[in-house]
Structure 1
Amino acid sequence: MSAAQVDDTAIAWAIREDSGLDAQEELAFEAWLAEDDRHLGAYVRARGFFLRTERAAALGESYRPEDFLPSQSSAPKQTAKQIGEELANPSRRRFVGMAIAASAAGVIGAGTLFYRGAGAERFVTRRGEVRVVALADGSTITLNTNSSVLVEYGAHNRSIKLESGEALFDVAKDALRPFVVRTAAMDVTAVGTSFTVSRVGEAAARVVVAEGIVEARSLLVKEPQALRLEANMAATASRRMQMIATEVPSTEIERELLWREGRIQFENATLQEAALQFSRYSDIAIEIEDPALRTQQISGAYLANDPVGFCRVVAQIFDAKVHVEEGAVHLSR
């Protein structure tokens, strides 16, 4: 099967998965993935486009995913055989294929980009943007707001430098080519897993493992020992302390990863802490003029790019006043 045919089939599966797969379709899909090493990479690239368009809706009022995706019909679900026959309909396949290709070229806003396989390539996000990068080996990188990574694949390794911000790495297994993420403070090596790495200032970094196993090594101490981290574990590297593994409840990991959906969740955070979090995602600053109001605590999930809406909720809860001006929203009593 040619590369174009592989991509066509991957697009058909991605379209079908949007409306859900039944048990028979799941089996057919798993069998297709197992047929050829190229299938997973092609599927991840196609699915990455859909994920990016879905998440963008939470990150920008002007973004309309329906402008780029085919509309869902109310027709009965297709069988696995009919899914294959869907490839005979070139209009739908070509539409999504062109959208993916345009996204790869940067035509559709801040769309998903793909690794080209030659030299190093940098991927960045602006403030308030989330980007999914699908790599040729089937791995994906999801960049949080205001982040930058440098990707370089070689014959014997897969090297990612997290230059700033935070990213989630879903790693395709390849025992012959370790997947290494490096910051100024830490390097993290994985074979097949899901984990986040975030830079905390210039001289610290944190890794959180959602699935699988990684080895983390501090770059801030002499002769560092590799630290083995399993699912629901985290570690921080800094000059002030020895890097140690800590357990993280799965509910906490889910809360931390809500940024993929354009949301922030707080658990008994002070309003001042919440204001600092919103400043990572929006150019609109939250100014809390009453010192006593800054220490009030709040919980819940909120749109990361809507500090004004957050402040209006706060005002109702704490009987405060909201004043909105260009570039800032003020909370007062």
Structure 2
Amino acid sequence: MSNVSQFYSKEHIQEQACLWISRIDRGLSPTAKQALVNWSQQKHTHYTTLLEMASYWDDLSVLNELSDLFPLERNQPKSRKLTAIVMAASIAFISLISANTLLNESFIPFLPSYKEHQLTQIQTFATKVGEQASFTLSDGSHIQLNTNTEVAINYGSNQRKLTLVRGEAQFDVNHDISRPFTVVAGEKSFTALGTIFNVQKNNEQALELVVIEGRVLIAKANEAIDVIKQSFDQPLATLLPGILVKSGEKATIAEHVDAPVQEVSLSQVQRDLAWQQGMLIFEGEPLTTALADISRYTKIHFEIIDPQIANLKVAGYFRADDIDGLIASLEINLNITSSKAPNNTILLSLAN
């Protein structure tokens, strides 16, 4: 058993408390409720920070939920613990009332909104060629970046907007109906509520969307957020300001042409997302297509010398960073020989 204790800063505890309150606002499962109670009981500062952060929230249902999770104990009416609970809950309630009824409106512009501050996040995440990385956003959503990818985060009080500047990323979205989660890529936007989806941007017009869970609305990049919010209440897909893609479906956008949404099998989804395990899967693609995909993960460039090998079919599993293994496979299975050239270039031709 380890005797090393983990210590956390005040800021880290405040961040955890805010995440818990956000989850309370969306609704907790019985398991999550017990996890919250356990976390609050680990340290007294966890509990007091939770109540402090709750005092800034503008929804009384959060305080009601906390009162249900931490009821007053009848047998200890004078204990210091109960006194602290009553005082903290009172402060939280008074803070909400005073913020909404006691303050003159002329003073409000001079008082920073803590909740608005918590909802705001402006940041950029990026990976280099051959690199992959995962990040957790301030609302609890997760993004996983593939090779040579850049995502700009711009969270506000009424929208969570991300821009896929280049590359490919998967987004695991935390549900928040009041703040739609929108990814802008090129000329299109992809908006979700509680969803897991993958977006690949090849250029401003060539995009690919795979929805793993939930649903995503494809619209114009400059579509108004109010129109997008209203669209999720539309019962008919024909009234939506774009294309609705559901779980297990894939949409391809190329040069201003939106291809029909396709249903994809589980194996196809796993193939499209194999990059998350550092793998590439090919099932009969032309050699030129396979090499273009592999080139995304390395600074090595491939040049086909013999045109007759360009359309040879490639099939198999390859590690994205294993160029030597790829070359060996091409030599054995397709009778292709390789040679190195300047500027990280590999020349490919048909063996004699």
Q: Shorter-normalised TM-score: what interval?
A: 0.5 to 0.7
1:277 & 1:118 partners in 2: Cα distance?
36
**Code of the aligned partner of 2:345:** A
**Code of the aligned partner of 2:316:** G
Q: Is residue 120–residue 150 contact of structure 1 (8 Å, CA) maintained in 2?
A: yes
Q: Kindly name which structure, 1 or 2, has the bigger radius of gyration based on alpha carbons.
A: 2
Instruction: State the partner residue of 1:289.
Output: 305
**Code of the aligned partner of 2:182:** V
- Matches of residues 50-69 of structure 1 in structure 2 within 5 Å? none
Using the TM superposition, give the Cα deviation of residue 320 of structure 1 relative to its aligned residue in structure 2, in angstroms: 3.3
Instruction: State the partner residue of 2:325.
Output: 309
Q: Is residue 287–residue 331 contact of structure 1 (8 Å, CA) maintained in 2?
A: yes
Give 1:179's match in structure 2, choosing from 151, 176, 181.
181
Instruction: State the partner residue of 1:330.
Output: 347
Using the TM superposition, give the Cα deviation of residue 168 of structure 1 relative to its aligned residue in structure 2, in angstroms: 0.5
Instruction: State the partner residue of 1:233.
Output: 249
Q: Is residue 185–residue 205 contact of structure 1 (8 Å, CA) maintained in 2?
A: no
1:229 is paired with a residue of what secondary structure? strand
Task: Say yes or no: does 1:132 pair with 2:149.
Answer: no
Q: Is residue 195–residue 208 contact of structure 1 (8 Å, CA) maintained in 2?
A: yes
Using the TM superposition, give the Cα deviation of residue 295 of structure 1 relative to its aligned residue in structure 2, in angstroms: 2.1
Task: Say yes or no: does 1:32 pair with 2:49.
Answer: no
1:137 is paired with a residue of what secondary structure? coil
Using the TM superposition, give the Cα deviation of residue 244 of structure 1 relative to its aligned residue in structure 2, in angstroms: 3.6
Using the TM superposition, give the Cα deviation of residue 35 of structure 1 relative to its aligned residue in structure 2, in angstroms: 7.5
Q: Cα 1:147–1:34, aligned 2, differ >3 Å: closer, same or farther?
A: farther
**Code of the aligned partner of 1:268:** G
Task: Say yes or no: does 1:270 pair with 2:270.
Answer: no
Q: Is residue 120–residue 157 contact of structure 2 (8 Å, CA) maintained in 1?
A: no
- Matches of residues 93-108 of structure 1 in structure 2 within 5 Å? none
Q: Cα 1:145–1:136, aligned 2, differ >3 Å: closer, same or farther?
A: same
Using the TM superposition, give the Cα deviation of residue 238 of structure 1 relative to its aligned residue in structure 2, in angstroms: 4.5
TM-score between both structures, scaled by the size of structure 2: 0.59
Instruction: State the partner residue of 1:106.
Output: none
**Code of the aligned partner of 1:212:** G
Q: Cα 1:250–1:129, aligned 2, differ >3 Å: closer, same or farther?
A: same
Task: Say yes or no: does 1:257 pair with 2:273.
Answer: yes
Q: Cα 1:235–1:291, aligned 2, differ >3 Å: closer, same or farther?
A: same
**Code of the aligned partner of 2:328:** R
1:33 & 1:289 partners in 2: Cα distance?
62
- Matches of residues 110-259 of structure 1 in structure 2 within 5 Å? 119-219=121-221, 225-242=241-258, 244-259=260-275
Kindly indicate which of the two structures has a greater share of residues assigned to helix: 2
Q: Cα 1:267–1:306, aligned 2, differ >3 Å: closer, same or farther?
A: same
1:132 is paired with a residue of what secondary structure? strand
Over the aligned positions, Cα root-mean-square deviation in angstroms equals: 3.3
**Code of the aligned partner of 2:325:** G
1:136 & 1:126 partners in 2: Cα distance?
23
Instruction: State the partner residue of 2:62.
Output: none
Using the TM superposition, give the Cα deviation of residue 181 of structure 1 relative to its aligned residue in structure 2, in angstroms: 0.8
Q: 1:258-289 CA deviation, whole Å, 9 max, x = no partner?
A: 11122111110122221111111111122333
Q: Cα 1:218–1:251, aligned 2, differ >3 Å: closer, same or farther?
A: farther
1:137 & 1:322 partners in 2: Cα distance?
49
1:280 is paired with a residue of what secondary structure? helix
Q: Is residue 227–residue 244 contact of structure 1 (8 Å, CA) maintained in 2?
A: no
Using the TM superposition, give the Cα deviation of residue 134 of structure 1 relative to its aligned residue in structure 2, in angstroms: 1.1
Using the TM superposition, give the Cα deviation of residue 231 of structure 1 relative to its aligned residue in structure 2, in angstroms: 0.6
Using the TM superposition, give the Cα deviation of residue 151 of structure 1 relative to its aligned residue in structure 2, in angstroms: 0.3
Instruction: State the partner residue of 1:299.
Output: 315
Q: Is residue 302–residue 348 contact of structure 2 (8 Å, CA) maintained in 1?
A: yes
**Code of the aligned partner of 2:293:** Q
Instruction: State the partner residue of 2:234.
Output: none
Note the residue ranges of structure 1 that are not aligned, 5 or more in a row: 9-26, 38-115
Q: What is the aligned-residue identity percentage?
A: 29
2:241 & 2:13 partners in 1: Cα distance?
47
1:279 is paired with a residue of what secondary structure? helix
Q: Is residue 220–residue 238 contact of structure 1 (8 Å, CA) maintained in 2?
A: no
Q: 1:44-88 CA deviation, whole Å, 9 max, x = no partner?
A: xxxxxxxxxxxxxxxxxxxxxxxxxxxxxxxxxxxxxxxxxxxxx
Q: Is residue 193–residue 211 contact of structure 1 (8 Å, CA) maintained in 2?
A: yes
Q: Is residue 170–residue 195 contact of structure 1 (8 Å, CA) maintained in 2?
A: yes
Q: Is residue 212–residue 230 contact of structure 1 (8 Å, CA) maintained in 2?
A: yes
1:120 is paired with a residue of what secondary structure? strand
2:347 is paired with a residue of what secondary structure? strand
2:288 & 2:33 partners in 1: Cα distance?
48
1:265 & 1:30 partners in 2: Cα distance?
41
Larger RCO (alpha carbons 8 Å, 6+ apart): 1
1:33 & 1:228 partners in 2: Cα distance?
36
Q: Cα 1:31–1:317, aligned 2, differ >3 Å: closer, same or farther?
A: farther
- Matches of residues 77-96 of structure 1 in structure 2 within 5 Å? none
